[in-house]
Amino acid sequence: MDKNALNTARAPQLPGAVLFDAYGTLLDVYSVGLLAEQLFPGHGQALGVLWRDKQIDYTRLVTTSRSGPERASVYQPFWELTSAALRYACKKLGLALSAGQEQQLMNQYRHLSAFPENREVLQALKSRGIVTGILSNGDPDMLGVAVRSAGLDGLLDHVISVDSIRQYKTHPEAYALGTQALGLPAAQVVFVSSNGWDALGATWFGYQTLWVNRYQLPPEEIGPPPVRTGHSLRDVLAFFEP
């Protein structure tokens, strides 16, 4: 069977809630490539990809590292890491990034394009009485702007940021924020992400997982597979079919 086909195996328990990753799952992180292409013709796509990869690298670095004899946290908010990743990506690609261009691109990141099926799926879950939320690396200000910009106000019961614990996903404490907010065990919550590493981390934590494989990537070679794999947020509705 095609590795990317929707896994129709039934989840072990009927879920009581759904948590979505934000960046890459509800929001298209590569939509910044359009503006990047205008600013740096011929380099927009490469900049968008490298920017995202370095952003995630930085979240892992500050989560797993400590500084000085007291082993102090080196945590920085997601907004700051995103800005630093942009500067790094431009330098690696040999692009001269002005202060004005950085401001333009960072403002675009605040208002990333939403995937078109978002509202349809969230409304369908809401109509069934399913509790929904975001569990994201984004800091609260970023998420607040993103949710409003995407027109998702009123469709999410929870918007949860890891900033409160200063630990990024895939740290278990980051995933635990979801169960704490919902008051449900992980096995009764669906976690949806388009990032394979995030789906794996959530699976390890104990969530029922949907990996939205939008870009037809190979599955991770370590760890258990997600409960389901699909290509759209609509595939989360299969968890609630009789």
Rounded alpha-carbon distances, angstroms, from residue 206 to 64, 95, 167, 179, 200 = 21, 42, 18, 10, 10
21 is catalytic: yes
Out of 21, 28, 163, 198, pick the active-site residue.
Answer: 21
What's the CA gap between 174 and 59, in Å, rounded?
Answer: 12
Q: Catalytic amino acids?
A: 21
